[in-house]
Structure 1
Amino acid sequence: MTLTLVHFYPLAGRLVTHKQENPHSYSVYVDCNNSPGAKFIYATANLSISDILSPVDVPLVVQSFFDHQGAVNHDGHTMSLLSIQVTELIDGIFIGCSINHVVADGTSNWHFFDMLSSTFRAKEKSYEISRPQILTRWFPDGCGPIINLPFSHHNQFIRRVESPPHRARIFHFSSQTVAQLKKKANSECKTLKISSFQAVSALLWRCVTRARRVPPHQETTCSMFANNRNRMEPPLPNEYFGNSVQTVSGKASAGELLEHGFGWAAWQLHEAVVGHSAMAVQEWIEKWIEHPFMYIAGNYFGTMIVKFEHEVVAAVWNEGGGSMDVEVCLFPEAMSRLESDGEFMDAVNGMNQALLERNMSPWGMSYVRQRQCELAFKQFL
C-alpha cells in the first residue's frame, strides 16, 4: 500500500482548517506533511463467512468492519482520509475500505484501488503505476485556488444524528430483468433514449415511494450522482483525482409519480441527466464559488440514519451483461411493504429465489461475486 500511496499521497494527509479574523477568512485544505498517514487495521471476529452472507438483511456487524462508520467528512481533521481494515473471520477475511469524500469520489476511489491491486500483483519494490493520477486542481477561469468559506466555526455546518432502527437489503437485478425494464420504459415513452440505470432507478423511485406511504401532495425526489469529468468542455480525464460529482434529480409529487406509468418516471430521470450539461456544470460551480455552502446530508438527501433512510446504492455485477445490485436502506415497516410490493418483487424474485435455494441471500451472493479480487471496497454514498 505504501508504494501506491506515493502516487496518491493526498490520501495519506489530514484536513486542516485555516482561519483568521481580520480580514476574515476560513478555508480547508489537505496537509500531507504533518500527518500520521493512512490507516491499516487488523482485526478478528468470532464469525464465519456464512454468519455474514446468509442473513437476508445486511447484518449490523458489517458496520464494524469499516473504520469510518458514522464519520462525517470534517472528521478528516483527526481521522485518516483513507482506512483499510482487514477483519479475520473463522474461515475467511473481510476487507473494508473507507475513504473521505472531501478528497475522492467513486471514480478516484476505484482508480486508487485498481492501482493498489496492480502494485500488489507486480510485487516490485519500485513500481510505476500504469495510470498516474492527475492532482492539478481544475477551477473556472479567474477562480481559485483558495476559496474563502462563509463560516467562523465548523459547528455551523456539521450535523450528527442518532441512527434509528432500520433495515438494509441488497436486491439483485439480472441482466434479463434490467433489459426488460429498459425495453418497457422506452416502449411506454416511444423512445430509445432511456438507459438501463434510469429504468431501474425509476422502478425504485416508484416502489420505495409507495412503500414509504408518502402523501400524494408531497414532493418526492430521486437523486443520482453524476460524474462531471466527461461533461466538462474540454472533458477532464478519468485520472483526475478528487471529487468531481454532483447530484441530478427527478422530482414529482407522490401522487403524480404513482398515477403516471413506469416509463413516465424513467423519462423524468432521463431529462434530469440530459439537462446536466457542460454549461449547467460550469454555471453551478461558478455560483458555488461566488456563494459557497456545505452539503448537509439531512437537508439534501432526506432523513439521515446510518446511511440515509430510503437510500439506494447500485453496483454492477462482475458477471457483466448489464446485471446490477441495489442496496436499499429503509425503516423496518417500509422495508416490509417493499418486500410485498408486486411491481418491485416481480423484478427481483426470479434470481433471488435461485440464490435462496442455494442457502445464500442475494446480498451474500453479491458480496461473494464482488470480492473475487485481491481487494474489496464498499462505497457509502
Structure 2
Amino acid sequence: MTISEIHSPIDVPLVVQSFFDHDKALNYDGHTMPLLSIQITELKDGIFVGCSMNHCIVDGTSYWHFLNSWSEIFQAEGNDISLSHPPIHKRWFPDGFGPIINLPFTHQDEIISRFEAPVLRERVFHFSSESIAKLKAKANAEYKTNKISSFQSLSALLWRCITRACRLPLDQITRCKLAIDNRSRMDPQLSQDYFGNSIHSVVGVATAGELLEQSLGWAAWQLHQAVVNHTNKAIHEWLDAWQQSPSIYQLAQYVDRYSIMMGSSPRFNMYGNEFGMGKAVALRSGPANKFDGSVTSFPEYEGGGSTDLQVCLLPNFMSALESDEEFMDAATLPHQWQ
C-alpha cells in the first residue's frame, strides 16, 4: 500500500483503523494494557505512525505536548536536551478532594459499556483560511456582533448542515458539543504545560427547526454563549455535583444520533514534529471515539489558519452532506500529496 492509496480516496480507507493499536479499548483497559502504544506501519513509499494513548492520563493538549516534546528531544544536538515546555506532572484536585478517589461501585460492569459503532463513512473536508474568514464575517454580521470566533462559525456550519442532511423532525432537539480546555478558564489558571486531562464539553442546544430557520450567526451565537459561560464557577459547580453523585463517562451513553461532537483542535502543533523522516504529509485519526456525527479537527498541511475536518456519518447522511450547497460552498478539496 502506498501513501497515495491512503491519502487520495474521497473516504478515509477502512484499513487506516488497523494502523492503530488498542482497537475498541476503553480507558479501564489501562489496568492490563499499555497506557501508550506507538504502532509503525511500513508502506511502499513511507510509513504511518499510529499513536494511541489512554484518555485518562492525557487530553488533546497533553497528547500533542508529548509528541512535540518527543520531536524536540529527537532534534536536540548532542546530549544537551532542554525542553522548551517541560511538562507539569503535579496533579490538580479541587480543595479537599483527592489524590485518592473512592468510587461507589463494586463491580466493573457498573462502569463499563462497550460501544459498537455502526458502519460509517469518514471523509476529510478542507476549509481554507479565506473560507473560514468569510464564515466568521457572515456569522458576526448576521448576529450584529464581533464576538463570534472562527471555530464557532465553522462549528455552526457543521451543526446546521449535518442536521439538514439527517432530515431531523423540526421539533427534534439537537446539540452541538464542543470539546473545551479547562486550563485557561480556571482561577488560578492551570498552565498550558499541565500534563494530564483537563477537558470538558460545552453544548449548544436548539430544535432542528430553530437551527435551520435561523441564520448561521444565530447558531454560532449559541455556541459562543456555551463557551463564554464555561467559567471557573461553572467548572467547580460541575465538580461539586460530581462529588455528590459520581458517574463514569461512557461513550455508549454519550452518543446522541441527533447531535454532533466537535473534537480535537486546529491550534495543536501537529505538523511541526520531526523524527528524521521529514514533515508528515497528512493526519488521520484512529477508530477510537468514532460515531455518527463525530468531527475531528486538524490544522491543514500548509497552515495559515486553514482547517481540515474528518467527519464521520452514516453513508446516506454523508451523501446528503456532500450535496448540501451551504456546506460544499465553504469546503474545498484537502491538500493532495504528490
Indicate whether the TM-score tops 0.5. yes
Match of 1:251 among 202, 205, 209: 205
1:323 aligns with 2:306: yes
SS at match of 1:177: helix
Partner of 1:121: 75
Matched, 1:340 2:334: no
Task: Give distance in 2, aligned partners of 1:121 and 1:237.
Answer: 25
1:176-191 paired onto structure 2 within 5 Å: 176-191=130-145
Q: Distance in 2 between matches of 1:259 and 1:298?
A: 31
- Aligned-residue offset at 1:285: 1.6
Indicate the residue corresponding to 1:143 in structure 2.
97
Q: Deviations over 1:97-148 (max 9, x none)?
A: 1111000001101111111001111154573433221111111211111111
CA distance in 2, matches of 1:185, 1:173: 16
> In 1, distance between residues paired with 2:30 and 2:89?
19
Which residue, out of 81, 96, 111, partners 2:65? 111
Is the Cα–Cα contact under 8 Å of residues 147 and 289 in structure 1 kept in the other structure? no
Q: What is the rounded CA distance, in whole Å, between the counterparts of 2:61 and 2:295 in structure 1? A: 18
Q: How many correspondences in the alignment? A: 309
Q: Report SS of the residue matched to 1:241.
A: coil
Matched ranges for 1:74-85 at <5 A: 74-85=28-39
Alpha-carbon deviation of 1:320? 2.9
Deviations 1:246-291 (A, max 9, x none): 0000001111111111111000000000100111111112221232
Q: Secondary structure at the match of 1:283?
A: helix
The Cα shift of 1:161 comes to 3.3
Encode CA deviations 1:1-33: one digit per residue, 9 max, x unaligned.
xxxxxxxxxxxxxxxxxxxxxxxxxxxxxxxxx
Q: Secondary structure at the match of 1:207?
A: helix
- Is 1:206 aligned to residue 163 of structure 2? no
Is the 1:309–1:330 Cα contact (8 Å) retained in structure 2? yes
Q: Could you report, residue by residue, the CA deviation over 1:42-98 in whole angstroms, capped at 9, with x for unpaired residues? A: xxxxx1112111110000000000112221111111211111111101111111111
Quick one: which amino acid aligns to residue 182 of structure 1?
A: K
Amino acid of the structure 1 residue aligned with 2:180: A
Rounded to whole Å, the distance in 2 between the matches of 1:268 and 1:318 is: 30
Amino acid aligned to 1:325? D
- Give the whole-Å Cα distance in 2 for the aligned partners of 1:239 and 1:107: 8
Tell me which amino acid in the other structure corresponds to 1:122: A
The alignment yields a C-alpha RMSD, in angstroms, of 1.8
Which 4+ residue blocks in structure 1 deviate beyond 4 angstroms?
123-126, 303-306
1:160 corresponds in structure 2 to 114
- One-letter code of the match for 1:319? E
Residue type matched to 2:299 in 1? V
Q: What letter is aligned with 1:278?
A: N
Using the alignment, how far apart are the partners of 2:155 and 2:43 within structure 1? 35
Letter in structure 1 aligned against 2:235: V
Contact 2:118 2:291 (C-alpha < 8 Å) held by counterparts: no
CA deviation digits over 1:138-162, x for unaligned, max 9?
Answer: 1121111111112111111211133
Give aligned-pair identity as a percent. Answer: 57
Q: Give the TM-score taking structure 2 as reference length.
A: 0.87
- Unpaired runs of 5+ in structure 2? 262-286
Kindly indicate whether residue 102 of structure 2 is the aligned counterpart of residue 102 of structure 1: no
Give the AA of the match of 2:205.
K
Pick from 150, 164, 186 the counterpart of residue 232 of structure 1.
Answer: 186
Give the Cα separation in 1 of the matches to 2:13 and 2:214. 36
- The letter of the residue matching 1:316 is P
User: What is the CA–CA distance in structure 2 between the aligned matches of 1:199 and 1:251, rounded to whole Å?
Assistant: 15
Shift of 1:317: 2.0
- One-letter code aligned to 1:320: G
**Mean CA deviation greater in 93-102 or 306-315:** 306-315
| Secondary structure, aligned partner of 1:265 | helix
Q: TM-score, normalised by structure 1?
A: 0.78
| Counterpart AA for 1:276 | H
Within 5 Å, give how 1:1-381 maps onto structure 2.
47-122=1-76, 124=78, 127-302=81-256, 307-348=290-331, 351-352=332-333, 362=334, 365=336
Q: Residues 182 and 199 of structure 2 are in contact (CA less than 8 Å); yes or no, is this contact kept in structure 1? A: yes
Q: CA deviation at 1:301?
A: 3.1
SS at structure 2 position matched to 1:84: strand
Give the whole-Å Cα distance in 1 for the aligned partners of 2:12 and 2:309: 12
Greater displacement, 320-329 / 156-165: 156-165
1: CA distance between counterparts of 2:307 and 2:36?
A: 27
SS state at 2:52 partner: strand
Q: Secondary structure at the match of 2:175?
A: strand
Q: Secondary structure at the match of 1:143?
A: coil
**Which has the larger displacement, 47-56 or 186-195?**
47-56
**Offset of residue 219 of structure 1:** 0.6
User: Does the CA-based 8 Å contact 1:150-1:293 persist in structure 2?
Assistant: no
